[in-house]
Amino acid sequence: MSGNPDFDLYQPAEEHEALREAIRALAEKEIAPHAADVDEQERFPQEALDALNASGFNAVHVPEEYGGQGADSVATCIVIEEVARVCGSSSLIPAVNKLGTMGLILNGGEDLKKQVLPEIAEGKMASYALSEREAGSDAGSMRTRARKDGDDWILNGNKAWITNGGISTWYTVMAVTDPEKGASGISAFLVNKDDEGFGVSKTEKKLGIKGSPTAELYFEDVRIPGDRILGEEGTGFKTALRTLDHTRPTIGAQALGIAQGALDAAIEYTKDRKQFGQSISDFQNTQFMLADMAMKIEAARLMVYTAAANAERGFAPGNQKLGFMAAASKTFASDVAMQVTTDAVQLFGGAGYTRDFPVERMMRDAKITQIYEGTNQICRMVMARQVIGK
């Protein structure tokens, strides 16, 4: 891959390693102690939000000119990875803040950026509203509508599976503005939680990431100013796809962090656990399992960081491989996370099946990384089209 000019191989930088040390220390001190309770009580991890806001790690991707840190995509992935290592739910704070604002950064007007992005940098949250009950992988069949009314837009419809729905202040919403044009008739808008007619109608009961609310949103004649459209009318679906090219590596980073947390727990446990007069880490079959887990994680890390490094080039035209690498890194890392967390539970034996240890939570949290921001089957379709050249 190093000989391909379309790719920039990830090379670790000193500032990235320093960032990892800082966010890991914060995560272990301020976030990890609450992770089990957040999962058990199915409550939002307010402690994590407070700690991330206080340290500036809540939305490191926001450019400096809007009050953020202007961190590159690799740095953003490191933050998400290290938070996910101790709490998958909490890692969705920085991850979804990027997802919810990426369309604005890529395609929004300057005045709107100045209004919204400083609020996100200061601690408010953003979410992304693309999916509907009957329009998940087939996002082009969405039914949410937006019609022009003078200088304003009027939104009606529903969105489903919205991460951090009901907690966020701002929502990037995809809606049909011209039903006759299919995907080319979809536009992107920014909706504020206080806009009249906007609300949350349902919060899902989930297998994992229980501390991050997944909600259904409704829009009943929600009137928003005309300048809250992102880009030109009809460019919303393109904005959605460009957003995913930049944010799928962050889901890869979340999966990577969950897998690393499970491996770390498994190493510690197998060293302490005694059977047949010795630590089970002394048995060759245990060592082979741990070696395979570590090998897969390192491969996933290289893919995720390489994809993130390429995302920086994605702001300029000509990076034809960004979509492939974004989808590939998310798919590979999430598959690895599911494999590694399952093996971690196995290494814990019966104890791994209980809530006394974190690996069962990590296995449950890992599953969603294979599903959201494009199921791994959809991501493989994206990759195949790149490979075939369609």
Question: CB count, 10 Å around CB of 45?
Answer: 24
In terms of Cα–Cα distance, which of 224, 157, 162 is closest to 190? Answer: 224
C-alpha torsion sign, points 8, 12, 13, 18: positive
Residue among 82, 132, 216, 373 flagged as catalytic: 373
C-alpha torsion sign, points 32, 37, 39, 45: negative
> Are residues 85 and 260 in contact, defined by beta-carbon separation less than 8 angstroms?
yes
DSSP secondary-structure letter at 135?
B
| E strands, the chain, in order | 126-129, 145-149, 152-163, 170-176, 186-192, 198-203, 214-224, 229-230, 274-275, 278-279
Say how far residue 340 (Cα) sits from the centre of its chain. 19
110 Cβ neighbours under 8 A, 6+ residues apart: none
In terms of Cα–Cα distance, which of 374, 130, 87, 390 is closest to 249? Answer: 374
User: Is 15 annotated as catalytic?
Assistant: no
Backbone angles phi, psi at 156, to 5 degrees: -140, 140
Q: How far apart are CA 160 and CA 203, in angstroms?
A: 9
> Are residues 262 and 359 in contact, defined by beta-carbon separation less than 8 angstroms?
yes
> Are residues 283 and 334 in contact, defined by beta-carbon separation less than 8 angstroms?
no
Active site residues: 373
